[in-house]
Amino acid sequence: MGFTSRILHSDRHGGIEHGSIHKPVHTSVTYAYEDARQLAAVFQGKEFGYSYGRQVNPTVTALQDKISLMEGGSATIAFATGMAAIGSTLFSLLRGGDHLISSSYLFGNTNSLFNSFAAHGIEVSLVDATSVDAVASEIRDNTKIVFVETIANPRTQISDLIQIGDLCKEHQLVYFVDNTMTTPYLFQPKEVGASLSINSLTKYIGGHANALGGSVTELNNYEWGGFNNIYDIYKGGDSSGWAITQIKKKGLRDFGAALGPEAAHHISVGSDTLALRMDRACSNAKRLTEFLSAHPRIKRLYYPGLENHPEYELAKALFRYPGAIFSLELNNLDCFDFLNKLRLIASSSNLGDTRSLGIPVAHTIYSEMGRERRLEMGIDDSLVRFSIGIEEADDLIEDFEQALNF
Ligand SMILES: *Cc1c(COP(=O)(O)O)cnc(C)c1O
């Protein structure tokens, strides 16, 4: 089945409540049982059921199952935000003295989070993950996890996804892929050997900037039996479920960043049209970058769908489309003045919305890290990032044209 057919009816898996087409929004925080022994069995994981909303909720469970279907995974845990998914997962799998290798090209808050990990006794190496050799040269005896993004925001560097997968397999490292920028519609991390994938559901999957959420999905490529940070208590049954159980208990339950049922509902409804929105947004981004690459006011243009992009071939081989994000630097035009000239495109920090958005990244989302770290990530002070939405392409081109040619 195609991507949309596969997910569209998933709300009705596991029983249709009142014939409801959408999974209902269950707002109850707690669940009661006629037989107190059954409550105990649910608590001890001997029986599936709901007990307390911080760990599990029927509306959230339906969304988790839908994301597992999208990613081709066996289980998903949802969180209140994408950052909660990354932070809680890594916290629950790493211990003091462990070593994490991460791509240097990171979402700003993930970069900030990794600085905190370093302050708490987890060694972190940031490497140029467009080259597998850079990752390989950092492997140590205590290395546990390799973390990469697919297409890095804002400069669109693409990690050496296939080769890093092979490397992780060879060294039995957990391969953790942030699939937010590509989504499971453009790219399946499972196919390159990823152990776990994370998605910020706030972005393309929810797609309408009306709910925050995040998720982590077990992709069944890693043998958790050989991972020595799993607590004995979570080693029940087949080892493929150990890590996700520990993430649920140590990450979600103990940190408590649970996704609310209303947000889960918004995200689930939004996700029904993920494929349609991505088709349109990616095609818009392609048309726009073709127009912009010929424009004299554009100094540099970064988009993996352009032949001069260093990872053009890799993007073509791996991704259904090269995404809907690009960034640019301008000739003789101030980035703020340019953004102010745009009429249709809003100045805003989000990405993956139905609406096209632009942002001067060095002055906003990447300001806290300082200029030196920005330059390591290839972020010039004048860089503007665009997240292209689903407006008609001609209108977007006209808007850029008038803003560039005043
Ligand atoms: C937005 C984003 C996150 C964080 O997601 P939130 O839902 O905003 O917490 C993580 N990774 C990437 C690549 C993102 O774009």
What are the structural domain ranges in the chain?
3-271, 274-404
Reported as a single tens digit per residue, the pLDDT across 248-302 is 999 999 999 999 999 999 999 999 999 999 999 999 999 999 999 999 999 999 9
Nearest CA to 195 out of 375, 281, 74 is that of 74
Reported as a single tens digit per residue, the pLDDT across 342-365 is 999 999 999 999 999 999 999 998
Q: What is the mean pLDDT of the chain?
A: 96
C-alpha 180 – ligand 1 centre gap (Å) = 7
Are 280 and 390 in contact by the 8 Å Cβ rule? The answer is yes
C-alpha 141 – ligand 1 centre gap (Å) = 30
Is residue 12 over pLDDT 90? no
d(CA 88, CA 74): 19
* Structure confidence at residue 401 as a pLDDT band (50, 70, 90): very high
Reported as a single tens digit per residue, the pLDDT across 139-196 is 999 999 999 999 998 999 999 999 999 999 999 999 999 999 999 999 999 999 999 9
Is residue 240 over pLDDT 90? yes
Predicted local confidence at residue 236, as pLDDT: 87
Angle between helices 261-271 and 58-71 (to 10 degrees): 30
Q: Whose CA is nearest to atom 5 of ligand 1?
A: 82
What three-state secondary structure class fits 255? helix
- Closest approach atom of ligand 1 to CA 106: 13
- Closest approach atom of ligand 1 to CA 84: 9
Q: Per the structure block, which two tokens stand in for 26?
A: 């269950």
Provide the percentage of residues in the chain whose pLDDT is more than 90: 92
Predicted local confidence at residue 13, as pLDDT: 82
Predicted local confidence at residue 377, as pLDDT: 87
Regarding the domain delimited by 3-271, which CATH topology (the fold level of the hierarchy) does it fall under? Aspartate Aminotransferase; domain 2 (3.40.640)
d(CA 131, CA 163): 9
C-alpha 274 – ligand 1 centre gap (Å) = 17
Reported as a single tens digit per residue, the pLDDT across 23-68 is 999 999 999 999 999 999 998 889 999 999 999 999 999 999 999 9
Are 218 and 72 in contact by the 8 Å Cβ rule? The answer is no
Predicted local confidence at residue 6, as pLDDT: 94
C-alpha 233 – ligand 1 centre gap (Å) = 31
C-alpha 203 – ligand 1 centre gap (Å) = 7
Most informative mutation of 112, 147, 180, 216 for ligand 1 (most atoms within 8 A of CB): 180
Neighbour tally for 95: CB within 10 Å? 13
H/E element, 7: helix 3-8
Using a 6 Å CB cutoff, which residues line ligand 1?
81-83, 107, 110, 149, 153, 178, 180-181, 200, 202-203, 212, 214
Residues shown for the chain: 406
Nearest CA to 146 out of 170, 117, 167, 173 is that of 173
Most informative mutation of 67, 81, 89, 109 for ligand 1 (most atoms within 8 A of CB): 109
Are 344 and 399 in contact by the 8 Å Cβ rule? The answer is yes
Regarding the domain delimited by 274-404, which CATH topology (the fold level of the hierarchy) does it fall under? Aspartate Aminotransferase, domain 1 (3.90.1150)
